[in-house]
Structure 1
Amino acid sequence: MPDLENRIFDEIEFLDTKYNVGIYNLLAYVKHLKGQNEEALKSLREAEDLIQEEHGDQSGMRSLVTWGNYAWLYYHMGRLAEAQTYLDKVENTCKKFANPSSYRIDCPQMDCEEGWALLKCGRKNYKRAKACFEKALEMDPENPEFSTGYAIATYRLDGFTGATQMSKAFCLNTLKQAIRLNPEDAYIKALLALKLQDVGQEAEGEKYIEEALTNTSSQTYVLRYAAKFYRRKGSLDKALQLLQEALKATPSSAFVHHQIGLCYRGQMIQIKKAANCKPRGQDRENVNRLVGLAIDEFQKTLTLRPTFELAYVSLANMYAEIGHYRKAEDTFQKVLYMKIIDDCLLQEIHYQYGRFQEFHLKSEDKAIIHYLKGLKAENMSYTREKLLNALEKLAKRRVHQNECVVESFSLLGLIHKLKGQVSEALVCYEKALRLADHLNTMF
């Protein structure tokens, strides 16, 4: 709740958009849940004022959600006469548009309102949000607001662990369409830049980032995404500079703190690579210092947003880096016990925990268990490829060292099967069966 409220306030203050009505409605709901009903009413009044400013000619249709929220809120406050007043407003508007139901209307603006609310409330709602904007666009394909919402929903769904080339291309098209209809939207340009970077068009992406940074619109958000772009490019000092600017405006942003932590981690990795993974003296001191800074940032992230799953993984890996294995294990367990419905996210968590078991705790058996758990989620993704490769390397190493050979050939058979390499899978399974028979005759 505190994180959602912080993100709502950040959006109201720093995101320059024509589509702010929904965010005031959502803020009213958050205020109600906190028991601040008068504050909730104030937020609904602000939503109403915005509707009058932006949609004077369509204010009745655009006010339906806000009026419904007024009725709902007054009902829960026990002010039934006022609740009825707003119910009447809804009914009259629905009748005006010859709707068969007194309190429900099927129109693209309603789908759009629902899409924005779902988009703000976490990963599990992104597919539903996308469907809402998709439905709205069917009715009005050239609507800038519907196009923007659809592009953002598509970007978020596409953006976690490497979607297919087809989905990446589709996401690029939705972002380009949104920019065509909203040419001054710096926020969308920053998202397009990141997606271009994803598909290997970094130089073109950087042009959009530079263009977005010169625009005063939505600067705090642009700084965040520009920093992410430069972090992934390897320009970590520049990324940190941009993030520090963003932090001045939004000190309670879990996203910004997490990105700062990832930059410190990136600097640590650069030092280790330069020292062939054996830093000594000053290099070792710098590694430890950067790990400490990263840990501080990831801890701040989780204080602000206790449901940020990947931040637990980031924090656990930093504990492991300096040998604090008990803290790393405890942190991994917290995220492993969370109810996660996103398959791509589950794959990443099991992959990272498997690596922790394999390389830090030297427990290959537990590593195999978690690599296999990650592969149970059948989504085709970049992380799934990493899981298959990690499992394959481990199994081949065991075969080479003559350890658990029957199980290792069985694993290699499974890996080939999952890769669609049927003949190679059969060869490995046959080797496993022959070895098992040989062992049985020996004993």
Structure 2
Amino acid sequence: MNCGKKERAEKEMSEENLKLLPCHFTWGLLKEDADLNFLKVKLHEKLAMECSYEGNRKQRELNFIGFIKHLQGFNNEALQHLELAKEEQNNRGRDMIVTYGNLAWVHSLMGNVTESETNIERVHEVLRAFPNPSPTEHHREVLSEKAWSLLKFSKKTYIRAKEIFLEALQKDPDDTEWNTGLAFALFRLEGLKFSQYKRVGFEESPAVLQLKKALKLDPKNAMIHVYLGLKSYKNTKNSEAWRHMTQALKMAPDNLSVVLHVAKFMKKEKEYDAALEVLLEMLKKAPDSSRLHHEIANNYRWKAMQIKDTHNPELLGFCVQHLEKVASLNPGHIFPQLELALRYAELKQTTKAEQKFTELFALPDLKPADLQAWHRMYGDFKQYRLGSEKAAVDHYKKAMRLGPVSTEWFSCRNRLRKVLEKSRRDTYEIQTFFESLNTEDKDK
């Protein structure tokens, strides 16, 4: 065999070995299915918090963000996070299987053949030291990391996560982790399936039944209380919702996800001062959380609306201050920056608002959902700040032509319907536009 053929054979063998490794790269996690910027920010904010991690959870977070960095095209940063993950466990035990597998993949993609092969061999060493009960089974540590990664990654991978939790529970029905994981998966799947107008009843909800079972097994898990609180709220059991949310906050006042969920619930209950108190207290512990700043801005905005003073300069000023902070912390998140442009307009800073809209529209590779939000908010700006209804209608139409890629599609439809309701001739051919959309739907 000449050198060229030998190299190709070795490369093919290496690729086959990589495909057999149990790690994020072989779990079918596709970058087009997820909001990578959101995942990155959420993980970075969690790692930045001064909190204790149980077991190998910090290692898992580092593994996951390493994979996200790879999907974003930053393999050097991916490698840095994976090396930190390796340090968490000091190169020992079954917890290392996924970490070594991820390292092997990243090194291979970067052309570091020797390092890749070394990490492949490390996986095999762990597997020899801790053999599987059967060839078709994975170690619990691998299954657990896979299931939680699928649950975190995207709504398109919720079902696969649920299936892993269900399969694991068949062998151990009272396992705390598997029961909690299944409860969270069912909660999220029900959230996708049922809208605000069509919900499964509280008593009949498989998610509620599983959350209650999980709470008995894991009574210190604050997120179970959060999800039960949200289920209660959606079924108009408000006193029970408050009980769960208050308990969650009491149990985990330093948990950013818990605090954000509780504050959003308070916002829905129009308790804006209570929400702001919780959020501002959390901000002392996580001053660089873009998600916190965004939620604080929202509450100042809604508080102004509650007191029927939407142009209150003080409250709008606070809102703008926090939205500008979001823009600096997370420039990849378009939606709060669109809100910022509208707030500028409400403060009568029209030039600044127009400049912000123009700047955002010029960004490369805007996602359809972001572009749809841009057209909706720019349309609002044209209609309510500049008094150009015709221009607004044009943008609402452009947003709807993108299809129902986000809830903004429905917002634009509602705005167009309001224009139609006006008793006059000039309705900018909106009815014809609606009919064309129906025709397109039938043709598909």
Give TM-score scaled by structure 1 length: 0.70
1:146-172 CA distance string (max 9 Å, x none): 454455566567489956624796665
- Distance in 2 between residues matched to 1:316 and 1:170, nearest whole Å: 42
Kept in 2, the 8 Å contact 1:163–1:380? The answer is no
- The corresponding residue for 2:424 is 401
Q: Identify the match of residue 313 of structure 1 among 313, 334, 338.
A: 338
- The corresponding residue for 2:155 is 127
- The corresponding residue for 1:205 is 241
Residue 86 (structure 1) shift: 0.5
Residue 321 (structure 1) shift: 0.9
Residue 259 (structure 1) shift: 0.9
Closer, same or farther: CA 206–109 of 1 in aligned 2, 3 Å: same
Residue 19 (structure 1) shift: 4.5
Counting only pairs closer than 5 Å after superposition, residues 234-383 of structure 1 correspond to structure 2 as: 234-271=270-307, 273=308, 287-333=312-358, 335-336=360-361, 337=363, 339=365, 348-376=373-401, 379=404, 383=408
Kept in 2, the 8 Å contact 1:137–1:147? The answer is yes
- The corresponding residue for 2:87 is 45
Closer, same or farther: CA 13–126 of 1 in aligned 2, 3 Å: same
AA partner of residue 155 (structure 2): K
Kept in 1, the 8 Å contact 2:143–2:164? The answer is yes
Residue 140 (structure 1) shift: 1.8
- The corresponding residue for 1:67 is 100
Kept in 2, the 8 Å contact 1:254–1:304? The answer is yes
Counting only pairs closer than 5 Å after superposition, residues 19-30 of structure 1 correspond to structure 2 as: 19-26=57-64
- Distance in 2 between residues matched to 1:17 and 1:187, nearest whole Å: 18
Kept in 2, the 8 Å contact 1:186–1:215? The answer is yes
Kept in 2, the 8 Å contact 1:257–1:300? The answer is yes
Kept in 2, the 8 Å contact 1:108–1:135? The answer is no
- Distance in 2 between residues matched to 1:381 and 1:354, nearest whole Å: 16
1:127-160 CA distance string (max 9 Å, x none): 2441331231231234543454455566567489
1:356-376 CA distance string (max 9 Å, x none): 222222232332233234434
- Distance in 1 between residues matched to 2:80 and 2:335, nearest whole Å: 36
Deviates more, 1:199-208 or 1:230-239: 199-208
AA partner of residue 26 (structure 1): F
AA partner of residue 246 (structure 1): M
Q: CA RMSD in A?
A: 4.3
- Distance in 2 between residues matched to 1:171 and 1:186, nearest whole Å: 16
AA partner of residue 382 (structure 2): Q
Kept in 2, the 8 Å contact 1:151–1:171? The answer is yes
Deviates more, 1:22-31 or 1:298-307: 22-31
Kept in 2, the 8 Å contact 1:71–1:86? The answer is no
Kept in 1, the 8 Å contact 2:316–2:343? The answer is yes
Closer, same or farther: CA 335–127 of 1 in aligned 2, 3 Å: farther
Counting only pairs closer than 5 Å after superposition, residues 136-151 of structure 1 correspond to structure 2 as: 136-141=164-169, 142=173, 143-149=175-181, 151=183
Residue 224 (structure 1) shift: 2.6
- Distance in 2 between residues matched to 1:165 and 1:381, nearest whole Å: 18
Closer, same or farther: CA 152–349 of 1 in aligned 2, 3 Å: farther
Aligned residues: 387
- The corresponding residue for 1:7 is 45
Kept in 2, the 8 Å contact 1:111–1:132? The answer is no
Residue 217 (structure 1) shift: 7.0
Which runs of 5 or more residues in structure 2 are unaligned? 1-36
Larger helix fraction of residues:
1
1:239-258 CA distance string (max 9 Å, x none): 11111111111111111111
- The corresponding residue for 2:7 is none
Residue 333 (structure 1) shift: 4.6
Residue 113 (structure 1) shift: 1.8
AA partner of residue 167 (structure 2): M
Closer, same or farther: CA 133–253 of 1 in aligned 2, 3 Å: same
Give TM-score scaled by structure 2 length: 0.70
Closer, same or farther: CA 382–82 of 1 in aligned 2, 3 Å: closer
Residue 229 (structure 1) shift: 1.6
AA partner of residue 41 (structure 1): E
- Distance in 2 between residues matched to 1:346 and 1:176, nearest whole Å: 40
Percent of counterpart pairs with the same letter?
23
Deviates more, 1:258-267 or 1:77-86: 77-86
- The corresponding residue for 1:116 is 148
1:342-365 CA distance string (max 9 Å, x none): 75x665554333322222222323
Closer, same or farther: CA 23–316 of 1 in aligned 2, 3 Å: same
- Distance in 2 between residues matched to 1:331 and 1:162, nearest whole Å: 33
- Distance in 2 between residues matched to 1:299 and 1:119, nearest whole Å: 31
- Distance in 2 between residues matched to 1:332 and 1:195, nearest whole Å: 37
Kept in 2, the 8 Å contact 1:172–1:195? The answer is yes
Kept in 1, the 8 Å contact 2:58–2:85? The answer is no
Counting only pairs closer than 5 Å after superposition, residues 381-396 of structure 1 correspond to structure 2 as: 383-396=408-421
1:106-125 CA distance string (max 9 Å, x none): 677545423434555xxxx4
